[in-house]
Chains A and B, each alone.
Chain A
């Protein structure tokens, strides 16, 4: 393996990591509050979950394709890639936030209300801590998926490890394919283990 290839692997891995982390941060910042709001709006739950489900079923390559012609959001480049990755990551986080909170033992919730907690205290002191593990599991699933999906971002100029994969496909070069696939797989594995460890550390019960 040449020095140049090693150097490029490092660069693209970092770029990949950046794509994933930024997308995850945006997705979490949107989906967790949305999930919390949804627990208070029963009638909206079906609609929002339905929409998120539909997004999830569209093949990722097609999502990238649909986004390209859109003004502002679309076009070629990193921002389009990030928007697509965010759309994909929303559902697992949203769903797990919702189920995590809705599955808090009703007796514990009632007990909190009976002790005179306000709605906000109920959320921060009881519901969120007891749902932490489920929410983190959603984040973990979304992160691992996003690391894989982000390889497709290269199609629309998003960069990342997908660059190797597509170059390898075009030139039928196994080394290049591996240079993209192996770091991505390792990253997914590390994210899975790392987030699982945090889940265990943070779970209150």
Chain B
């Protein structure tokens, strides 16, 4: 079986600028590949190539073996849950309408959409009675982010793209949601591509970790390999790990 997502020597160019260089990796069904990298390293750009928001300037991005330009992109996007960095909610939709969007586009009966929205809002810790009818501007940053997570999960997509999904959360809620993410993955056999610049989150959630640096993948491997890797950029992340520990102790 071909991997769910496969990057083959992918380069990305926006305008005159090369953002990604010769990126190659696979995401197998059921795994969570974490893309770790500093700000501006190209993580968001890489995610946008998966659902065809950006197309490669060279190489191929294959989803279930088919290159993105050959996909019906509307269909592809509705089968990929996308948690957008900074949430990207629709300002003129209520929380419930935001979460229920893809099911509605997919023509679910309204009752099923309602039930699904209630269930998801409860799951991400936003009691529907209190939050369903609010607008995004009436939420805190962390609450918006949780709505973004719920929206991505709504149509139960087999593949999830998560762009710093837990970034704006307080540490307690973050750990809760990270734990929920682990449970969810175990229970539902989801495949995920998760972007973060937090090395501890990468180690906690990733079955494998890919490190991006200036648009190149300088490391790809499991946790143990990551901790042993000699690459300079990876070592820079090791260093923050040590810093973090010192703080905690």
Contacts and interface: CB of A to CB of B under 8 A. Distances in A.
Interface of A: 105, 107-108, 110-118, 121, 126, 129-130, 204-205
B248 to A, nearest CB: 35
Contacts of A112: 90
A108 B78 contact: no
B91 A115 contact: no
B220 interface: no
Interface in B90-147: 90-92, 101-102, 105, 135, 137
27 contacts: A107-B84, A107-B88, A108-B88, A108-B91, A110-B53, A111-B88, A111-B89, A113-B53, A114-B48, A114-B77, A114-B82, A114-B84, A114-B88, A115-B77, A115-B78, A115-B82, A115-B151, A116-B73, A116-B74, A116-B102, A116-B105, A117-B74, A117-B105, A126-B92, A204-B91, A204-B92, A205-B137
B6 interface: no
Interface of B: 48, 51, 53, 73-78, 82, 84, 86, 88-92, 101-102, 105, 135, 137, 151
**Residue among A108, A111, A116, A118 facing the most chain B CB atoms (10 A cut-off):** A116
Given A105-B91, A115-B82, A116-B78, 7 more contacts: A108-B88, A108-B90, A111-B90, A118-B74, A121-B105, A126-B92, A130-B92
A126 B88 CA distance: 13
B105 A115 contact: yes
Nearest to B106: A116
B77 A113 contact: yes
Contacts of B88: 107-108, 110-111, 114
Contacts of B77: 113-116
**Residue among B77, B90, B135 facing the most chain A CB atoms (10 A cut-off):** B90
Nearest to B105: A116
B46 to A, nearest CB: 14
Contacts, number: 53
Contact of A116 (B75, B89, B90, B137): B75
B206 to A, nearest CB: 23
Contacts of A107: 84, 86, 88
**Residue among A113, A115, A129, A205 facing the most chain B CB atoms (10 A cut-off):** A115
A137 B53 CA distance: 33
Given A114-B77, A114-B84, A115-B77, A129 B92 contact: yes
A124 to B, nearest CB: 12
Nearest to B102: A115
A116 B151 CA distance: 12
A47 B211 CA distance: 48
Contacts of A204: 91-92
